[in-house]
Amino acid sequence: MPPHLKHALPIAFWVAGLALVFILLYAPILSAVLFSFSADRFPSLSMSGFSTQWYAQVLTDRAMLEALWNSLTVAGFTALIATALGFAAAYADYRFRFFGQKAVLALALLPPTVPLVILGLAMLAFFSRIGIAGTLAAVVAAHVVIAAPFAMAVCRLRLAQLDRTLETAAQNLGAPPHSALGRIVLPHTVPAILAAFLITFAVSFDEYVISWFTGGLNQTIPVAVLTTLQGQVDPTIHVIGTLSFTVTLTLVLIALAVVLRQSGGAMSKEETS
């Protein structure tokens, strides 16, 4: 323990505090996982038995499966486009020095700070004007707007570790710009690109407000869940919650592992040099 904390509160206090935070964060999620396996129709702690019936019900529910498919399609396309845009923006910011660079950067990172309701409503108005409201393409376009800044942020972090001279050095050794980009910049940035893909996928997969405004009858999983909940309390919600949570958590954990491994590698390189 650092010396300045030595005579402060006992360590047990900090551990208890941390435990409380984690319990408050994860208890609702854990309860969803627990109740998804309950044999009862209504969630209660005196569970009468263990059952996978709700899983069977969800996996045979055509509307839910369609929503899942919509979600996967939207998230897949969103991740592809947002990552490409995010990398391109991060690269431009890394490679070039131009007038108004800071302003461009701020503008590019702005969308996630706009309230989703406003963004969703504005998107709906715009999409209906150009006649694509209510299509999955509209949802993808809207999701790209909020997801691309995340991709850009992740790629920028990685590019910041790359000496800007390297790309020039490659050109100096005879590599035309596309080769220098492909041989020097991309290999270095691949882990970040992968992480950006997973994170933007997760962002889109979880997003409710914009999907609800712009998706129309094409429901994604979060929209379908909320729609179901408005009608009745259905135990299949717990199943969907558990499945969604697992998908998102897996994606984020993989992204985290990729990012941690790359920075760990960079650190050990610095030590030896």
The yes or no reply on residue 100 touching other proteins (CB under 8 A) is: no
Of 153 and 180, CB closest to other proteins: 180
Nearer to other proteins (CB atom), residue 165 or residue 232: 165
Least Cβ distance, residue 164 to other proteins (angstroms): 9
Choose one: 9-17, 69-77, 132-140, 184-192; the region binding other proteins (CB under 8 A). Answer: 184-192
Instruction: Indicate whether 96 belongs to the interface with other proteins (CB under 8 A).
Output: no
The answer to whether 246 and 193 are in contact (CB under 8 A) is no
Q: Is 168 in the site for other proteins (CB under 8 A)?
A: yes
Which residue, 179 or 263, is less far from other proteins as judged by CB?
A: 179
Span near other proteins by CB under 8 A; candidates 3-11, 128-136, 166-174, 250-258: 166-174
Whose Cβ is closer to other proteins: residue 2's or residue 187's? 187
User: Which residues have CB under 8 Å from 87's CB, separation 6+?
Assistant: 151, 152, 155, 189, 193, 196
Binding status of residue 9 toward other proteins by CB under 8 A: no
- Among the listed residues 169, 249, 256, 260, the single contact to other proteins using CB under 8 A: 169
Which of 214, 250, 192, 237 is CA-nearest to residue 57?
A: 237
Told to check if 163 binds other proteins by CB under 8 A, we report yes
Cβ closer to other proteins: 17 or 264?
Answer: 264
Choices 5-13, 73-81, 180-188, 223-231 (CB under 8 A): range interacting with other proteins: 180-188
Interaction residues for other proteins, span 201-240 (CB under 8 A):
none
CB of 191 to other proteins, least distance (A): 11
Q: Which is nearer to other proteins, 200 or 262 (CB)?
A: 262
Q: How far is the CB of 224 from other proteins (least distance, A)?
A: 44
Nearby residues of 35 by Cβ (< 8 Å), 6 or more positions away: 43, 47, 235, 238
* Residue with the two structure tokens 């998230």: 75
Q: Is residue 157 a contact residue for other proteins (CB under 8 A)?
A: no
Tell me which of 174, 217, 231, 232 binds other proteins, using CB under 8 A.
174
**Binding site residues, other proteins, CB under 8 A:** 163, 165-166, 168-177, 179-180, 183-184, 187-188, 269-270, 272-273
